[in-house]
Amino acid sequence: MLEVQNLSMRFGGLLAVDQVSLDVQEQEIVSIIGPNGAGKTTVFNCMSGFYKPTGGKIIFKGKEIQGRPDYKISRLGMVRTFQHVRLFTRLSVVENLLVAQHRHLNTNMLAGLIGTRNYREREQRALDRAAYWLERVGLLELANRDAGNLAYGQQRRLEIARCMVTEPSLLMLDEPAAGLNPAETKELNQLIVSLKEAYNVSVVLIEHDMSLVMDISDRINVISQGCPLASGTPEEIRQNDDVIKAYLGEA
């Protein structure tokens, strides 16, 4: 469903991403790993339309999307979280989820002012969907708190819920386990697997926590200094000499 071909991104003299390719099938969890500064987030930024890649193709559901504006790409059903949580901090938790459902809502202003039946029905469905996902990530009790007042782990979960209410087909998670304690990481592990199994979502995961990556990934892509280093199943990656060298070299 997603194919990235020879993606390159150059910032002035720095080639941050060099000829990276990867593909994601339906209901698959694909991880991108690599040392700090390898260019993982930059790959995400190109895929989500935040940067315009300087080379290569990104094909999502048969359409070439490289260089399209970010808000259009996300409307195609490809949404992301951020390495540093980006919530609407002064909005309440549930409002964060309502904003995300913009494209499912009746945004005709007149309809909203009058409160037509269609408008109210869609608004109610959005509320129900928000309630469902809040329950799912254990935040229903906190629905009317300001999102900025949540604990860090809760903020991470809210960010994932905020993506899920858009009903995406591809979810991109940038280091979702960063800053979580072991118990929370375990919950996250189960959540991601259930997203794939129960909600038919494919996941692209950037993560430094190797046990999480090895546990849930169907396939793994390793990049180092912008270049693709290896790709394959967790088993293959574990035994790959280049990867071992890169990681041992780093340590």
Partner 1 sequence: MVKNNLGHAAFCAIVTVIISFPILGLNLEARGVNITLTGASTSTYVAILVAAATVFVFQTFRDSLMGLLRKAPKLNPISRKQPMERSRRVKLESWIITGIVIFALFWPFFVSRGSVDLATLVLIYIMLALGLNVVVGLAGLLDLGYVAFYAVGAYTFALLSEYMNISFWMALPIGALLAGITGMILGFPVLRLRGDYLAIVTLGFGEIIRILLNNWTSLTGGPNGIGGIPDPTLFGMEFGRRVKVEGNTSFHETFGIAYSGEHKVIFLYLIALVLAVITALIIRRFMRMPVGRAWEALREDEIAARSLGLSRTAVKLSAFTIGAFFAGFAGTVFASKQGFISPESFVFLESAIILAIVVLGGMGSQLGVILAAIAVTILPELAREFSEYRMLIFGAAMVLMMVWRPQGLLPMRRTHIKLNRQE
With respect to partner 1, which residue has the nearer C-beta, 35 or 133?
A: 133
Question: Is 88 an interacting residue with respect to partner 1 (CB under 8 A)?
Answer: yes
**Binds 11, which of ligand ATP, partner 1, Mg ion, none (CB < 5 to 8 A, cut-off by type)?**
ligand ATP
Kindly tell me which of 37 and 69 has the beta carbon lying closer to partner 1: 69
Encoded one letter per residue, x for contact with partner 1 by CB under 8 A and - for no contact, window 121-160 reads ------xx-xxx-xx----x--xx-x--------------
Q: What is the nearest approach in angstroms of partner 1 to the Cβ of residue 140?
A: 7
Exposure string of 100-111, with b = 16+ CB inside 10 Å and e = fewer, is bbeebbbeeeeb
Which of 10-18, 33-41, 53-61, 127-135 is the region at the interface with Mg ion (rule: CB under 5 A)?
A: 33-41
100 is an interface residue for partner 1 by CB under 8 A: yes
d(CA 177, CA 153): 9
- Residue 33 parent element (H or E): strand 29-33
Site string for Mg ion, 82-111 (x = CB under 5 A): -x----------------------------
For partner 1 (CB under 8 A), the number of binding residues is 45
How far apart are alpha carbons 239 and 223 in whole angstroms?
A: 16
Query: Is residue 206 a contact point for partner 1 (CB under 8 A)?
Result: no
Identify the residue whose tokens are 């048969």.
62
Contacts for 195 with CB less than 8 Å, ≥ 6 apart: 164, 171, 201, 203
Question: Which helix H or strand E contains 118, and what residues bound it?
Answer: helix 117-136
Q: Which does 215 bind (CB under 5 to 8 A by kind): Mg ion, ligand ATP, partner 1, none?
A: none
How many other CB atoms sit within 10 Å of the CB of residue 174? Answer: 23
The item of partner 1, Mg ion, ligand ATP, none sharing an interface with residue 39, based on CB under 5 to 8 Å by kind, is ligand ATP
Contacts (Cβ under 8 Å, ≥6 apart) of 165: 97, 100, 101, 126, 129, 130, 133
Which residue lies nearer to ligand ATP by CB, 37 or 115? 37
Angle between helices 117-136 and 152-164 (to 10 degrees): 140
* Cβ proximity to Mg ion, 80 vs 136, nearer residue: 80
Report the interface residues with Mg ion, using CB under 5 A: 41, 83
